[in-house]
Structure 1
Amino acid sequence: MSSLTNRENHLCLYLLFLFCLLSDTKAAAVDELQILLKLKSTFQNSNTNSSIFSTWNSSNPLCSFSGIVCNENNSVREIELSNQNLSGFLALDEICQLESLEKLALGFNSLNGTIKEDLNNCSKLKYLDLGNNLFTGSFPEISSLSELQHLYLNQSGISGTFPWKSLNNMTGLIRLSLGDNPFDQSLFPSEIFNLKNLTWLYLTNCSLQGPIPKSIGNLTELINLELSDNRMVGEIPSEIGNLTKLWQLELYRNQLNGTLPFGLRNLINLENFDASENLLEGDLSELGFLKNIVSLQLYSNSLSGEVPAEFGEFKKLVNLSLYTNKLTGTLPQKLGSWSNVDFIDVSENFLTGTIPPDMCKMGTMRGLLFLQNKFTGEIPQNYAKCSTLKRFRVNNNSLSGVVPAGIWGLPNAEIIDLTSNQFEGMITSDIKSAKMLAQLFVSYNRLSGELPDEISEATSLVSIVLNNNRFSGKIPGTIGDMKHLGTLYLQSNMFSASIPKSLGSCLFLSDLNIANNLLSGNIPSSLGSLPTLNSLNLSQNQLSGQIPESLASLRLSILDLSQNRLTGAIPDTLSIAAYNGSFSGNPGLCSMNINSFPRCSSSSGMSKDVRTLIICFSVGSAILLVSLTCFLFLKKSEKDDDRSLKEESWDLKSFHVLSFTEGEILDSITQENLIGKGGSGNVYRVVLANGKELAVKHIWNTDPSGKKKFKSTTPMLAKRGGKSKEFDAEVETLSSIRHVNVVKLYCSITSEDSSLLVYEYMPNGSLWDRLHMCQKMKLDWETRYEIAVGAAKGLEYLHHGLERLVIHRDVKSSNILLDEFLKPRIADFGLAKIVQASAGKDSTHVVAGTHGYIAPEYGYTYKVNEKSDVYSFGVVLMELVTGKRPIEPEFGENKDIVSWVCSMLKSRESILSMVDSYLPEVYKEEAIKVLRIAILCTARLPELRPSMRSVVQMLEEAHETFKLMGIVISKDGTAYNKKMEVLKGTEK
Structure 2
Amino acid sequence: MGSTTLQLLLLILLIHLLFSTAQNDDATYLRALTNDWRNTPPNWDDNSDPCGGWDGITCTNSRVTSITLASMGLTGSLTGDIGQLTELQILDLSYNKGLTGSLTPAIGSLKKLTNLILVNCGFSGPLPDTLGNLESLIFMSLNSNGFTGRIPPSIGNLQNLYWLDLADNKLTGSIPVSSGSTPGLDMLIHTKHFHFGGNMLSGSIPPRLFNSNMTLIHLLFENNQLTGAIPESLTLVRTLEVLRLDRNLLTGDVPSNINNLTRLFEMFLSNNQLTGIVPDLTGLNVLNYLDLSNNTFDPSVVPSWFTTLQSLTTLKMYSTSLVGQLPAALFSIPQLQNVDLSNNRLNGTLDIGLSHSNQLQQVNLQNNEIDDFRQRSQYSIDLILVGNPICMETGNTDKYCSLPTNTSSSYITPPNNCVPTQCSSSGQVSSPNCKCAYPYTGNLFFRAPSFSDLGNSTMYDSLRTAMINSFRRSQLPVDSVSVKNPTKNLEDYLVINLLVFPSGDERFNRTGILGLGFSLSNQTFKPPAAFGPYFFIGENYDFLLGASGGGHKSSSNTGVIVGATVGGCVLVALLVLAGIYAFRQKGRAEKATQESRPFALWDTTGGSGAVPQLKGAKAFSFEELNKCTNNFSESNNIGTGGYGSVYRGSLPNGQLIAIKRAKQGSTQGGLEFKTEIELLSRVHHKNLVSLVGFCFDQGEQMLVYEYIVNGTVKDSLSGRSGIRLDWIRRLRIALGAAKGLQYLHDLADPPIIHRDVKTNNILLDERLVAKVADFGLSKSLGDANRTHVTTQVKGTMGYMDPEYYMTQQLTEKSDVYSFGVVLLELITARNPIEKGKYIVREVKQAMDTSKELYNLHEVLDPTIGLTTQLKGLERFVDVALRCVEETGDRRPTMSEVVKEIESIMELAGLNPNAESAANSADYPSKGSEHPYTNDNLFSYSGDQFSTKLDPK
TM-score between both structures, scaled by the size of structure 2 = 0.45
Tell which structure's C-alpha radius of gyration is larger: 1
Bigger relative contact order, structure 1 or 2 (CA pairs below 8 A, ≥6 apart): 2
TM-score between both structures, scaled by the size of structure 1 = 0.43
